[in-house]
A and B are shown apart, each in its own frame.
Chain A
Amino acid sequence: MPLSANLAKQATDIRKSILEMVSASGSSHIGAAYSIVDILTVLYFQILNLDPKKSKMPERDRFLLSKGHGGAALYATLAHRGFFPLEVLKTYAQNNSALAGHIVKDSVPGIETTAGSLGHGLSMGVGMALALKAQKSSVRVFVLVGDGECNEGSIWEAALVAAQFKLDNLVLIVDRNREQSMGKSDDIMNLEPFGEKWKSFNWNCLECSGHNFNELADSFNVKQIVRHHPTVIIANTQKGKGVSYMEKDALAWHYKTPKDALLEQARKELDA
């Protein structure tokens, strides 16, 4: 099977797991999870240096999910990648579970940080990148934020520091789905010209489709690094990607949980 076909299958399996986790628990953010599945798939199945059986190995690439509400997507990705049994996903947001709706550090192997409050992950990624750079390590630090998350001032504080300290071992991915909690990001807090903002902060700025495996893989490739500059990848995404009615009404599916006929329809679409 060619690599991208394999990635497509993995992404679909991850989406199916998320659907069951969310519908069984009634705890959603499914739209935000679906928006980042393809990004996580490329990272975890192709790009990141990792060993699922040695989740703390020092030479692993670091991945920090800053938009903690995408937690279901990260749990499912880690399970499908072999970090822990798929069975564990059934406990998602159930009583006495390690898997909260927003991720908690070390709750299961592979979760590097606690997230859920927006605007924290990039600063922590900067700290990790500083430490690794001082050790002359070749390890890279990847941080995934939402575009709505870029409303937070702390993102831009961290952006200044990352450039000041020339953190070329740091890669920020922005899940640019153009939706946030209460509406379109352009209407609520317009980020445009978004790429220009990053460039003016002295970042190496790339843009790609967040659902095209080849484009994503190219963007993550080390050859895209510009020496002495941190890199940001603006990944254009569709909230609710993979299920037609979620894509169509992405705002509603930020919080809603699919039930009954809609749950069946989603299962069918993902099986097709």
Chain B
Amino acid sequence: MRNTIVNLIHDLAKTDKNIYFLTGDLGYSVIDNFQKEFPERCLNLGIAEQNMIGVAAGLALEGKKVFVYSIVPFVIMRCLEQIRTDVALQNLDVTIIGVGGGFAYATLGPTHHAIEDIAMLRVIPRMKIVSPSDPVSAKVLAEQLLKIPGPTYIRLNKGGEPALYKAPPKMEVGKGFVLKEGNQISILSNGAITQVAVEVANQLEQEGISCEVVDMATIKPLDSDLIIGRLQNRKVVVTLEEHNILGGFGSAVTEVAAEQPRAAILKRFGVNDEYSQVFGSQQFMREQSGLSAEQVYKTIKKLYDRL
């Protein structure tokens, strides 16, 4: 995903002289070509994220379209106040590209896990939050986001994710997109873990249970209309995310659900609200919170069978 997005911005920078790309000394081998071609606009600002966000704001104040790149905890949490005060309060055209969403950097340990970022940014007015599920849709969404001014956060996994879409989907920022159709159960998902949603839906289909997967890449602004429709027309609505079960996408969906009459049972899947003391692969870390395809399938099946 990161290569797709960086290459896209690099391409656009060839014709749009206002595009700036800032990194906090991360992206070795990912941004080399960009930096070589545009040394004045692709800048390494060193390991200093608070200043980097402020510099991004300053560039945007001069009319530049600025992209800031680093690993999620460093580019979101270290400098959260700069994001709020410099970027959001001043409503500036700054896009933060965070790599390592969820457990993408699982083995690197807890400092590199990102399970709190969406909750932190959801409460910042004006902030758009987009968490693409694969490289193909990431490109589609990023191309649209480039034309929408104001503060934006693009949450990426890292590199090497499988493509969930064979061709670029007609996906829109702010709208859910049906990745797989089905009419009894709806799995609303975002980010790389959407691959798990697809596996679960396929497994349920084999059991004769019709299950759709909706790619809810845009977490803010949330596609409330789609959520309200699913709550009325499905038996079970499931949210799936690689983020703390508190405060993220699932919480956003329940905020909508709480104020609506609904037929469906709502079930949230997310990372347990705790810091793990054991570490391993992304798959291993997901399993600690019951987020593997097998675990999610079993939980949903049990819930469905009780209906």
Contacts and interface: CB of A to CB of B under 8 A. Distances in A.
Majority SS of interface residues in chain A?
A: helix
B58 A123 contact: yes
Given A114-B89, A114-B90, A120-B86, A157 B50 contact: yes
A124 B57 contact: yes
B259 interface: no
Nearest to B47: A157
Contacts, number: 89
Interface residues of A, number: 29
A126 interface: yes
A135 to B, nearest CB: 8
A158 interface: yes
B33 to A, nearest CB: 20
B50 A127 contact: no
A105 to B, nearest CB: 5
Contacts of B46: 157, 160-161, 164
B51 interface: yes
B55 A124 contact: yes
Interface string A116-133: 110110111111111110
A53 B58 CA distance: 23
Interface residues of B, number: 28
B61 A113 contact: yes
A222 B55 CA distance: 24
Contacts of A134: 40-41
Contact of A127 (B41, B56, B89): B56
Contacts of B81: 117
A130 B53 contact: no
B82 A128 contact: no
Contacts of B45: 161
Interface of B: 20, 40-41, 43, 45-46, 48, 50-64, 81-82, 85-86, 89-90
8 contacts: A112-B61, A123-B57, A124-B57, A125-B58, A127-B57, A130-B55, A131-B62, A157-B48
Given A128-B61, A131-B63, A161-B48, 11 more contacts: A112-B61, A120-B85, A123-B50, A123-B52, A124-B54, A127-B58, A130-B43, A130-B59, A131-B58, A157-B46, A158-B51
Interface of A: 104-105, 112-114, 116-117, 119-120, 122-132, 134, 153-154, 157-158, 160-161, 164-165
